[in-house]
Amino acid sequence: MSRIYFGTDGIRGKVGQAPLTVDFVLRLASAAARALAPQGGSVLIGKDTRLSGYMFEAALEAGFVAAGLDVRLIGPLPTPGIAFMTRHFGCRFGVVISASHNPYYDNGIKFFDAEGGKLSDEAEERIEAELEKPPTTRESRALGRASRVDKTRKAYQDFCISTLPPGITLEGMKIVIDCAHGAGYKVAPRILTDLGAEIVPIGCSPNGRNINDGCGSTAPHLLQLTVPGVKAQVGIALDGDGDRLVMVDHLGRKVDGDQLLFVIATARHAAGTLQGPVVGTLMSNYGLERALRERGIEFHRAAVGDRYVLAKLRETGGVLGGETSGHLLTLDHATTGDAMVAALQVLAVMRSTGASLAELTSALPLLAQHSVNVKVARRFDPYAVPRVSDAVSEMSRALEGRGRLVLRASGTELLIRVMVELEDAEEAKQHAEQLARIVRDVAAEVK
């Protein structure tokens, strides 16, 4: 069956509009209990700092307890922390209430299985099938119990610290940490402080409405000003649910996911500890692919989305991958993208080599990218249109060895995305605009 509610990263939408309503979330909890834990057990619920998180937390708690599951409520904690704590507690599954990097008026529900991994398509389909039934309410003696386990967050902090190589601390480092007023606002500063760093926190005062608002990994402008302003060595920016990472060097320059992946991969390769190929996405900069291959590091591309990066890593036996946006996977440490774990890997390279982040990224010359989004009236496969596919083939031949182009239909919007990469920014723009015009003309003819 095709899924109606689950997208590439759980269920997400605007609060108060279907499906993000209290009655739906109550039914979702009951459906998930029947589909994922028919024999009972416990479930962990965590969230970010959105105002609506409180009501959805209450709805999930009611649905799970009524269905006979014991509920552990851990409060605000990064999404990867929920994955870790689900395993730590031995829960049947875990739930995260978050819309990641979206504004506060959105929210979402994500699930993890007992191993801390994202649910399979089949598991999500089982939940959706159960949504057709009314919520379950067991008799009193069969009801579950709910308890708060906020203080157990330290187990996740200790886990993050344990991912550093033996003997590495952050003593003497001054670090600016921007938590996007989100789920990491408590644990992220504590992790850095416990490692001996002097921290300057920003984006650590959530009020329920300011999550991701002009701060965090999607808006690191204040971080870029603050790092050189306070003479810090480095800045760290998380997104609202703490699974996306962007860093800033001591000069105030943004360091994206491609650059961070390069730093970690090359350090591991030099140490002989890199396992399997590195995996990026269709949107990963061609400069990353070229730089890794020049160093003898195999590189693969997956479809856009961290779940596809994860699938490709499992397929190829790799453990390191990620997206330009900052979703970085280190599968030898965590089952899902974890911004703090990834940040600690980069900080460890800085400490062990004595190099600044600016120096570590200087060896990666990124190509200029020019992107054009072509609006369409309805979705269609651009490669199925000969005029477009012929233009793509001709342009690809012209770019061979110098750059590349990406043409893909958006999975969430009525858009065809065109992106061209070349060392010459003006030439990249010309090629992208040329292909976009062809796609736009074809789109106007598609009925």
Mean pLDDT of 5-12: 90
For residue 158, is it within any domain? no
15 lies in the same domain as 148 = yes
User: Is 95 strand, coil or helix?
Assistant: strand
304 confidence band (pLDDT: 50, 70, 90): confident
| Domain region containing 85 | 11-153
Tokens 């015009």 locate to 437
Structure tokens of 382?
């651009």
410 confidence band (pLDDT: 50, 70, 90): confident
405 lies in the same domain as 354 = no
287 lies in the same domain as 314 = yes
Contact status, residue 61 vs residue 71, Cβ threshold 8 Å = yes
What is the C-alpha separation between 396 and 385, in angstroms, rounded? 16
The residue type of 16 is G
84 lies in the same domain as 199 = no
Contact status, residue 156 vs residue 187, Cβ threshold 8 Å = yes
CB-based contacts of 46, cutoff 8 Å, min separation 6: 74, 75, 76, 77, 79, 81, 82, 85, 94, 95, 96, 97, 183
For residue 391, is it within any domain? yes
265 lies in the same domain as 183 = no
Q: How many CB atoms lie within 10 A of CB 225?
A: 15
Q: Helices then strands (H, E): number in the chain?
A: 14, 18
For residue 5, is it within any domain? no
For residue 2, is it within any domain? no
398 lies in the same domain as 312 = no
Phi-psi label, residue 435: left if phi above 0, alpha if psi -120 to 50, beta otherwise: alpha
Q: How many CB atoms lie within 10 A of CB 314?
A: 14
**What is the tens place of the pLDDT at every residue in 113-164?**
999 999 999 999 999 999 999 999 999 999 999 999 999 999 999 999 999 9
What is the C-alpha separation between 237 and 245, in angstroms, rounded? 6
For residue 163, is it within any domain? no
30 lies in the same domain as 143 = yes
Structure tokens of 115?
């191993």
383 lies in the same domain as 297 = no
| Predicted pLDDT at 1 | 52
283 lies in the same domain as 410 = no
235 lies in the same domain as 270 = no
Q: How many CB atoms lie within 10 A of CB 222?
A: 18
Beta bridge mates, 43: 71, 93
For residue 162, is it within any domain? no
Residue 197's CATH number: 3.40.120.10
Last residue of a domain, one of 217, 250, 283: 250
The answer to whether residue 371 scores a pLDDT higher than 70 is yes
Average pLDDT for the chain: 95
Structure tokens of 248?
């800033």
**What is the tens place of the pLDDT at every residue in 23-38?**
999 999 999 999 999 9
Q: Which of 30, 42, 52, 100 is catalytic?
A: 100
The answer to whether residue 411 scores a pLDDT higher than 80 is no
**What is the tens place of the pLDDT at every residue in 222-279?**
999 999 999 999 999 999 999 999 999 999 999 999 999 999 999 999 999 999 999 9
Mean pLDDT of 354-382: 94
For residue 4, is it within any domain? no
133 lies in the same domain as 177 = no
Residue 372's CATH number: 3.30.310.50
269 lies in the same domain as 352 = yes
Query: What does R_g of the chain's alpha carbons equal in angstroms?
Result: 23
Contact status, residue 117 vs residue 336, Cβ threshold 8 Å = yes
The total domain count for the chain is 4
| Predicted pLDDT at 401 | 84
Last residue of a domain, one of 226, 250, 274: 250
The answer to whether residue 447 scores a pLDDT higher than 70 is no
Structure tokens of 314?
């499992």
Last residue of a domain, one of 225, 250, 275: 250
For residue 161, is it within any domain? no
Say whether 393 is catalytic.
Answer: no
Task: Give, in order, the Cα–Cα distances in Å from 419 to each of 31, 83, 391, 408.
Answer: 41, 34, 14, 9
**What is the tens place of the pLDDT at every residue in 70-122?**
999 999 999 999 999 999 999 999 999 999 999 999 999 999 999 999 999 99
